[in-house]
Structure 1
């Protein structure tokens, strides 16, 4: 039976169960004459009479009873599945895949999700920590998180966190061997921990600003790493100065494991943003957006 004839089978089931064209037509919201024509056309296609009609009664024939017993449960199963599908679109469910730097995952995503996910057991969030500039469409991510000025212009971007001050830090052991720098130019005399950009493989240029003055400094050192946690660990071990988000090292500064220098030259970066390619949102994604949205 062709898919387009499912409506005809539904009409037949309604007539056979109601034993009345009048009542079945009312249930289906069609005219009695249109319903009668539908049944006649169905019978013609099948080559068998399904409904016995008299002036006093309407009833399924033997063939009609056989079809009713076979088809009615299957139609009910189809309708139940379609109803469940429609219901799933009205509540947050499914899996959302996000690529994000580890710092954003720890400081923003996980704390905010912890307040919401327990209320939505059918919603899952798959977080991949990555420091490369991922093509979320090609890699089949639903969204990504990056610092605001790193996001492609064709993406929808939503701020999810405050601006991020930068800090240059070193350990007390390092400063026992080296005088603290007083200006960015002094860094040429210091050992620094380079950060190798994961996307392009180039070493990160340290950016500084003070008033209207802006300086970019290419630093030198014995160690290069490709993730901020390694930078922090290297700095704690006295291997050199590191250029990091201050929020990520504040605890070490407070505990005395690291010391901040060049504070008056360190810039503030645009905060983390959630980015995604389309304005069409499922209930699950809409909930995620509302949960992560930055509120001052």
Structure 2
């Protein structure tokens, strides 16, 4: 036998108790008096006793009905308050926004965005989980994530928040003084390269190049592997070897001369950072506000 929903008949009971009338209850609920009467009969059958006394002129609660109403009313008020709270959440940005971001997104997006965002939306708290590994947003309880465009799941909505990246082979002046500068991608096979291992897949990233309209990749040699871009740049800065990174990620090192680019004519342009999230999540005002702030930041640069 099918299980009866515990809430079946409760709205009819509350309406009849409030109005002391089946007809008035039916008008409030937008149903027929017969439907209300049937719902009450079913509820009383579940209760095993009458909840209302009925005459042709009057409807009144029985003792059991009075006791049931006394227990049910606070719960009904709590449910009403819960819906009111949902209504508030749907109308303005508030609540906790959980984001999964790689380290490279901190300088490029998070740090410049947060001061103005917090000032504009003080009722939104941000929980930022910094991790270069791929994550399952829904399993991890995240509202959204930030990743390089090439590495976003296909079933996600993705919103661009940085321009495309031009990738670069970078080295410190001290490294080039000792080892010289590679002139072609194939020359890298005689250099010390700092390699990147994907944290989730555990595979090693092959450096991407382009020549005469054709893209190709190299498994650059080297004795050091890391699993985040910032460590790779810092090691290159210290003359340990060459690294392969996006120009915007190493912008300060390039500007100061701490790192110098080589092989520029062979380097491709690839998608930059995107904010991504499940389709239904974008209806949340807190996420919508963050999307607008992030895209406005990109346009301002």
Say which SS state the counterpart of residue 91 (structure 2) adopts.
coil
Alignment of 1:32-181 (within 5 A): 46-47=49-50, 63=63, 72=73, 75-181=76-182
What displacement does 1:87 show?
A: 2.8
Deviates more, 1:96-105 or 1:239-248: 96-105
Distance 1:288 1:50, change over 3 A: farther
Q: Please give the alpha-carbon distance, in whole angstroms, between the structure 1 residues aligned to 2:40 and 2:173.
A: 92
Say which SS state the counterpart of residue 4 (structure 1) adopts.
coil
- 1:11 match: 15
Q: Does 1:185 align with 2:186?
A: yes
* CA RMSD of superposed structures (Å): 3.7
Alignment of 1:227-246 (within 5 A): 227-246=228-247
Q: Please give the alpha-carbon distance, in whole angstroms, between the structure 1 residues aligned to 2:135 and 2:32.
A: 60
Say which SS state the counterpart of residue 88 (structure 1) adopts.
helix
Q: Please give the alpha-carbon distance, in whole angstroms, between the structure 2 residues aligned to 1:36 and 1:183.
A: 83
Structure-2-length-normalised TM-score: 0.76
Say which SS state the counterpart of residue 186 (structure 2) adopts.
helix
Q: Please give the alpha-carbon distance, in whole angstroms, between the structure 2 residues aligned to 1:199 and 1:31.
A: 56
Larger of the two Rg values belongs to structure: 1
What displacement does 1:222 show?
A: 2.9
Structure 2 contact 17–60 (Cα < 8 Å) conserved: no
Say which SS state the counterpart of residue 203 (structure 1) adopts.
coil
What displacement does 1:163 show?
A: 0.6
Residues 69-126 of structure 1: CA deviation (Å, up to 9, x unaligned): 6665554444233322333333333334332211123311343343223443443333
- 2:295 match: 293
What displacement does 1:223 show?
A: 2.1
Structure 1 contact 96–124 (Cα < 8 Å) conserved: yes
Q: Please give the alpha-carbon distance, in whole angstroms, between the structure 1 residues aligned to 2:31 and 2:263.
A: 83
Residues 178-205 of structure 1: CA deviation (Å, up to 9, x unaligned): 2222222222232222222323333322
What displacement does 1:162 show?
A: 0.5
Structure 1 contact 11–35 (Cα < 8 Å) conserved: no
Structure 1 contact 21–35 (Cα < 8 Å) conserved: no
Q: Please give the alpha-carbon distance, in whole angstroms, between the structure 2 residues aligned to 1:48 and 1:129.
A: 57
What displacement does 1:164 show?
A: 0.8
What displacement does 1:246 show?
A: 1.3
Say which SS state the counterpart of residue 8 (structure 2) adopts.
helix
Say which SS state the counterpart of residue 273 (structure 1) adopts.
strand
Say which SS state the counterpart of residue 264 (structure 2) adopts.
coil
Structure-1-length-normalised TM-score: 0.77
Distance 1:176 1:9, change over 3 A: same
Distance 1:267 1:35, change over 3 A: closer
Unaligned runs of 5+ in 1: none
Structure 1 contact 149–270 (Cα < 8 Å) conserved: yes
Residues 221-265 of structure 1: CA deviation (Å, up to 9, x unaligned): 232222112111211211111111111222122222222222222
Deviates more, 1:181-190 or 1:131-140: 131-140
Q: Please give the alpha-carbon distance, in whole angstroms, between the structure 1 residues aligned to 2:36 and 2:195.
A: 81
